[in-house]
Amino acid sequence: MLLLIQYTLVFASVLILVALGGCFSEHSGVINLGLEGIMVMGGLGGALVMRAMPNCQSAFLMILCTVLGAVGLGVVYSCLLAVACINFKADQTIIGTALNILATAAATVFVKAINMAADPNDVSATISYNSQKQLFVKYFGSFEFNWFMVITVVMLIVAYVALYKTKFGLRLMACGEHPQAAASVGINVIKMRWSGVLISGVYGGLGGICYILAGVSKWQFEYGVAGFGFLALAVMIFGQWKPHRIALAALLFGFFRALSNVYIGIPFLYSLNLPSYVYNMLPYVISLIVLAFTSKNSKAPKAEGIPYDKSMR
């Protein structure tokens, strides 16, 4: 049971971070379907930092540098979405899908090139970080505490305060509801939408490194992030684009995802003799069921997905 709680918190942390990224982007008026790709790039940035600091003994320094690496690459990659969708007014769904496909392929090629440069016989797309990972966790008996759990709580509070308690957040949401009205009172809609997308890069990058550090000591970038970006979108919609509701939704989806890791240790579930892939499918099946029953009541930002045209009224 303790292991179930541990994995639930870890997976919920990933979903909260990524869903909050999507929340900022969509509140600005830009649909970010590229969260999966941003997660991959964030994970790549953080993993490369850990690879470059093999002998670091300072937990604070390692966490800080890894977070900066993940955030930095996540933000840079999100710029592609911003340029295409905001400046060139491209279809946001197509661009987001393209970014997801590109990220996994680019990360795989890049990591393989790095490994081959170090060892010509190594053609894997794997980055190992076993010794560095130990700086991110603390053990309380059999419970493994990950520092990203604390980072997630902090970023959740920051998101809530930024959206509802600051002028920036209110202006951001205004741009996602009625950008022409926002522009009429002096708000720069283009800058606000860029801000929303870049913030989604920050959160998505953090979610990516949190995901690849969740339970393994090395990561095969060919596998991407197993659809967690899309699962985070479901969490965001179920949470009605509100940070506190997103957190609760993430705990629910994180619980079902955690079952696939620990069902063998739960006598009742193990006695059902269900194949392991059934438990792996659970969070995605649950997301379909939940969205099927709740999508009619969803109140997305009115202008999301609509390119801003200042001539429109």
pLDDT at 313: 65
Query: Is 213 a domain residue?
Result: yes
The answer to whether residue 171 sits within a structural domain is: yes
Averages of pLDDT over runs of 10 residues in the chain (313 residues) are 86 96 97 96 95 88 95 97 95 96 96 92 89 85 86 97 96 95 94 98 97 83 91 93 95 88 67 75 85 81 89 69
Looking at the domain assignment, is residue 57 inside a domain? yes
Side chain identity, residue 134: Q
Instruction: State the pLDDT at residue 274.
Output: 74
Report the CATH number that the domain containing residue 190 is assigned in CATH: 1.10.3470
The per-residue pLDDT for range 184-197, each reduced to its tens digit, is 999 999 999 999 99
Structure confidence at residue 278 (pLDDT): 80
Question: Is there a domain that residue 311 lies in?
Answer: no
- Check residue 267 and give its pLDDT: 64
> Is the residue at 61 inside a domain?
yes
What is the number of domains present in the chain? 1
pLDDT at 232: 95
Long-range contacts of 154-163 (CB under 8 A, 24+ apart): 155/16, 155/17, 155/20, 155/203, 155/206, 156/16, 156/20, 156/243, 156/247, 159/20, 159/23, 159/24, 159/203, 159/243, 160/243, 160/244, 163/23, 163/24, 163/27, 163/243
So what's the pLDDT on residue 309?
A: 81
Q: Decide: residue 40, CB within 10 A, 0-12 exposed, 13-18 middle, 19+ buried.
A: buried
The contacts of residue 289 (CB under 8 Å, 6+ apart) are none
Residue 157 included in any domain? yes
Domain that holds residue 102: 2-297
Q: What is the pLDDT of residues 24-81, one digit of tens each?
A: 999 999 999 999 999 999 999 999 999 998 888 898 999 999 999 999 999 999 999 9
Cut 0.85: pTM above it: yes
Residue 302 domain-assigned (yes or no): no
| 306 inside domain | no
